[in-house]
Chain A
Amino acid sequence: MNLGKLVWRNLLRRRGRFIFTLAGVSVGMAAFVALMTIGQGLTTEIKKQAQGLGANLVVTPKGWCAYEQISVLTGEQLPEAIPMSDLEKIRAVPGVKSAVPYLNEKTAFRNQPVPVIGVWPEEMRALQKWGIESGRYFNSPDERGIVVGSAIAKQFKLKPSDEFTVRGKLLPIIGVLREAGSKDDIATFIPLTLAQQIYDVQDKVSFIAVQVSDLEKIEATSLKIQEVANVAVVTDKQLLSSVLSIVGSVGAAMQAVAAVGVLAAAFGIVNTLLTAVHERRREIGILQALGSTRRTLFLAFMLESGLYGLLGGILGVTIGILAAYLFGSYLTDNAFTASLHQSQTVAIDYGTILLTMGFSVCLALLAGLYPAYRATKLSPVEAMRHV
């Protein structure tokens, strides 16, 4: 007989209570893991999209909110508000290496929403370094045809020379882009002039991606652009941080919910152990009569509590990761992430697992402090009174 064995026997003697308390800890920790995992995956993914933009500056209409800035990264539909004349002025600003326009629209294809993006074919290809999976790329800046992303091609089983409808207009599919692992995979592209014509937005674009020739002078270039045109300019870093802050605040809200669950689980442990101390008060008296010190009693209850944390942590991590895989896509399926590959929003790393385990055990030990203290305060005589 030793402390470990005694504690283990005590832990398992009320099966029902053990299981329900453990379930509480597991669920609390599972929620914690799931949200950490999903949140991290989301952050990583957004950073990747921002890199994929390939621009140093993004020129947007004045007064855009962060929600619209996010759509720049995700390829969502955007209002068209910058006149082409501004684009020409911006291209003429010294320090601007290239400025390419985007017209972000949307169409329904076989009852599914599909992003349609109007671009300058040559400039866009240079910026994005697209590869061609099958078929070919645009031959001229205003060719009547459409190039589709690889995921779209797969989803609708499309190949070159098939037809695609954009707002009721039939367009031949010219080519399919090679998989890029970004939002481009789930978008379709047509020449800007064609897009403006189909969507009836003559001479307007949604936003402009700018590359500067000298990163050192990015601030000055940004100011110059705002002088020549009535637009707002953000750097790619600002864009990223404002998007991340929104994701972060959503994440913080979700984590607060998880924290409530975890806290409830901790109170569950306190409750279970206090009940156990009360139930076992006679045994505690017997143990003391047999020579147990208060320290041993304290350790026994702390160990019991710690085991709830350890077992709950292990179960919670397992359940949490499974849940992140199963439900991660639903949880994050919103305007920020609609275009991200679903599996990419889940990121499992050992840091999270260790953090969760440590957190679980520490919290359980904290929860065990009071019951363990109460056990040591029992007098051996008191504990053995027969009423």
Chain B
Amino acid sequence: MSNAVIELEKVSKTYGSGAAEVKAVSEVSMTVERGGWVAIMGPSGHGKSTLLQLIGGLDRPSAGRIVLDGSELGTLDAAELAAVRGKKIGFVFQFFNLMPHLTALENVEIALWLGGATHSNGRAMELLERFGLGDKAHHLPSMLSGGQQQRVAIARALANEPDILLMDEPTGNLDSGSEAELLTLLGELNKAGKTLLMVTHNIAVAQRAERVLQVKDGRIVADTRKGKH
């Protein structure tokens, strides 16, 4: 699998210790090819978000190896890891996606700044317009609907043109209309070459991906590929 952009080798994550010990992820090995679209499903509390956070370098595994686009995360120092998060990965979180006191536009701009974009003039606005949010650019998140907030979050995740998009329940609080819109959008991004990894509880949404991983008790218990064109 020379074309792997994400590689996990016996990755485990344990929270707490003693009686309170929780093995959120245990010995997960998997690879995701460049340009792939993978959905992760599984019951609540079984380690899906934790897995995504480990892959995205937000947390370090208790054991195992994670290689992202050729660089092993375990060998990077805090600043290098921050750079990976800023440039290589775009995140869309399950909760609390946006900075509440910054406008939609500023939320995108802040990602550009932190990702080290030098000539970002107008890019933030372009992104918002692309997601149909041009007229909401100067609104605070609290003035936007759930679907609009999610789109801002995706625009922000794409700000630094990352190769990998990690999404935790991106359609979690969207109505069916917005959900369809978002899935179309994700399809386009995938076609454009982005690697997508998304956690979802929604089978219909998972079906849009070309591969579905089932997670249970911190392990991958099923890996279904469907022939997609």
Contacts and interface: CB of A to CB of B under 8 A. Distances in A.
A283 B107 CA distance: 11
Contacts of A384: 58, 93, 95-96
Contacts of A286: 93, 96-99
B115 A9 contact: no
Interface string B66-110: 000000000000110011011100010111111111100010011
Nearest to A297: B82
Interface string A285-310: 11111111111100000000000000
A101 B205 CA distance: 107
A288 B106 CA distance: 16
Contacts of A6: 110
Interface of A is mostly: helix
A13 B101 contact: yes
Contacts of B182: none
Contact count band on A: 20 to 34
Interface string A326-358: 000000000000000000000000000000000
A217 interface: no
B116 interface: yes
Contact of A289 (B58, B87, B94): B58
- Interface residue range, chain B: 20 to 34
A282 interface: yes
Given A384-B93, A384-B96, A386-B96, A291 B59 contact: no
Contacts of A294: 78-79, 82
13 contacts: A283-B100, A285-B96, A286-B96, A288-B85, A290-B91, A292-B86, A293-B78, A294-B79, A294-B82, A296-B114, A380-B58, A384-B93, A386-B96
Interface of B: 53, 56, 58-59, 78-79, 82-83, 85-87, 91, 93-102, 106, 109-116, 156, 160
Given A289-B93, A290-B111, A384-B93, 12 more contacts: A1-B112, A9-B102, A283-B99, A286-B93, A290-B85, A290-B91, A290-B114, A290-B156, A294-B78, A379-B59, A380-B53, A384-B58
